[in-house]
Amino acid sequence: MVNKGETLGIVGESGCGKSVTALSVLRLIPEPGRIVSGHIWFKDRDVASYSREELREYRGNDVSMIFQDPMTSLNPVLRVGFQIKEAMVAHERFDNKTADERVVPMLQKVRISDPKERAKNYPHQFSGGMRQRAMIAMGLSNEPDLLIADEPTTALDVTVQAQIIELLRDLNRDMGTAVVLITHNLAVVASLCTRVIVMYAGRIVESGPTRQIFNSPQHPYTWSLLQSIPRIDSTQHDKLLTIAGLPPDLSNPPPGCLFHPRCRFRVDRCSKEEPPLEEVGPEQAARCWVLMKNALAGAEPVR
């Protein structure tokens, strides 16, 4: 789904399966979780079929990941520079010396000032934003094909958030690493990603180019999400719409479309059959029987 050098955003409410999706890409799902069905294809090979050693080589080398909470994601007892170097040495892509020499430029690249001294620091001497930069440096140190950023800005201050997003955009442009950004923040997606996937209850409900999704969302869930953020250019004084209710309990999912209990545009069919993910426009797909273009036109569903 992710092309070389692309930036893809995965959006959805908390607990809808974004992080689990990301972790499964690296096969890092904590026990007792497991991948029951589906495949993860990387360069025409299924990651699920990797041997232990192949998996180890793939992690951090082909695909690397940065996590939600930079405060707890770095090892408190090891120097930051060492933790970055370690990622490089593990894959024998760089020998010990080259890896050592690459640490400082990597820190420089993620805009940490005084990188030479900072490399010798321990994580507790770093601020939250700096730790996340260090995590990014670690993730990019092996020049992976894909960087998965799981809510990289959630735990940070708003100003720092903007800096981190900007950094990710620049690195994507300069290094050509594809980025998958997982977030519940639509503004972040709009500013960084070329393509968006919207997830609900562990399923993709809509996907397409960012601009198109923002301008004409087809799934009611996407539409509601966009209605729930305030817009400064809004001409009418509309109320912000909220989505009533909570995501379903996935151990006991509702029949039919998983969103229908909360959907304001539902029709009878929605509670009986689950809709497939279907093409609804150029490069855009949605999983809905109704589709917003029909719902807003007041028309009956096409099928």
Partner 1 sequence: MTRGTLIYIGQRLLLITLTALIVSSVVFIGVHQLPGNAFLTERRTNAAAQAALLHHYGLDLPWPVQYVNWLTGVLHGDLGESLVNRGVRITPLVLREAATSATLGFWAMVFTVTLGMSLGIVAAVKQNTLLDYVASFCAVIGYSMPSFVTATFLVLLTVTGFYAWTGGTIYENIGWGKPEQIPVPAISLGLLPSAIIFRLTRASMLEVIRQDYVRTAWAKGLRSRIVVIRHALRNALIPVVTILGPITTSVITGSIVIEYIFGIPGLGKEFINSIANRDYNIVIGVFTFYAILVGLANLLVDLVYPMIDPRIRY
Q: Pattern 5-44, binding to partner 1, x per CB under 8 A?
A: ---------------------x-x-x--------------
Residue 104: name the closest of 115, 89, 113, 117 by CA.
115
Question: CB of 109 within 8 A of CB of 119?
Answer: no
Q: Which of 8, 47, 80, 87 binds partner 1 (CB under 8 A)?
A: 87
Q: How far is the CB of 25 from partner 1 (least distance, A)?
A: 10
- Rank residues 129 and 217 by Cβ distance to partner 1 and give the closer one: 129
- Rank residues 71 and 190 by Cβ distance to partner 1 and give the closer one: 71
Residue 205 amino acid letter? V
How many residues make contact with partner 1 (CB under 8 A)?
28
Structure tokens at 122: 């321990």
Structure tokens at 125: 């001497």
Question: CB of 53 within 8 A of CB of 80?
Answer: no
Helix (H/G/I), strand (E/B), else coil: 133: helix
State which of positions 47-76 bind partner 1 (CB under 8 A).
56-61, 64-65, 67, 69, 72-76
Q: How far is the CB of 198 from partner 1 (least distance, A)?
A: 25
- Rank residues 129 and 275 by Cβ distance to partner 1 and give the closer one: 129
State which of positions 95-134 bind partner 1 (CB under 8 A).
122, 124
Helix (H/G/I), strand (E/B), else coil: 26: coil
* Residue 220 burial (10 A CB sphere; 0-12, 13-18, 19+): buried
Q: Which of 36, 77, 297, 302 binds partner 1 (CB under 8 A)?
A: 77
Q: How far is the CB of 82 from partner 1 (least distance, A)?
A: 9
- Rank residues 90 and 241 by Cβ distance to partner 1 and give the closer one: 90
Helices in the chain by DSSP H: which ranges?
A: 18-25, 52-58, 70-73, 80-89, 96-109, 115-118, 128-140, 158-175, 186-192, 210-215, 220-227, 292-297
Binding site for partner 1 (CB under 8 A): 26, 28, 30, 56-61, 64-65, 67, 69, 72-78, 86-87, 90-91, 122, 124, 135, 138
